[in-house]
Amino acid sequence: MAIPGSIDLSTLPEYEAKLLLALAFFLGRDPSAQGRACLSMYLRQSEARIMAQVRYYAHQVSRSTGKPCSEYDLLDLVTEDPEQAIALLGPVLPVHTHGADVFGDDLEQP
């Protein structure tokens, strides 16, 4: 599965970049490979929290459409047809709208 965009490790905050580089150093890994490993590990460890959120929004879709939508249906929809997911979720998106996103692309780096 291709993910649009790319992960640019040079945009990590300084301390997190140092932690990643140290981990890569001690494990003898390329920093990009270590970054992918760290992201994968974080996502696996956070699966229950993430899927609880997906399940909540799937319930909202079911309520608004009157049709069943499981968390896995919505997960597939978000990854395969995000425009359709946006159309179904409508007014509840975006969830995070306050303050600057410290990991956003538009954040200026020193």
Mean pLDDT, the chain, rounded, equals 86
Domain of 70?
47-95
Do residues 51 and 91 share a domain? yes
What is residue 96's predicted lDDT score, i.e. its pLDDT? 62
User: Does the structure show a pLDDT above 90 at 39?
Assistant: yes
Q: What is the pLDDT of residues 43-53, one digit of tens each?
A: 999 999 999 99
pTM > 0.85: yes or no: no
User: Does the structure show a pLDDT above 50 at 109?
Assistant: no
Q: Does some domain include residue 104?
A: no
d(CA 9, CA 31): 8
User: Residues with Cβ < 8 Å from 36, sequence gap 6 or more?
Assistant: 7
Do residues 54 and 91 share a domain? yes
Query: In the chain, how many domains are there?
Result: 2
Among 82, 85, 59, 81, smallest CA distance to 71 is for 59
Do residues 32 and 51 share a domain? no
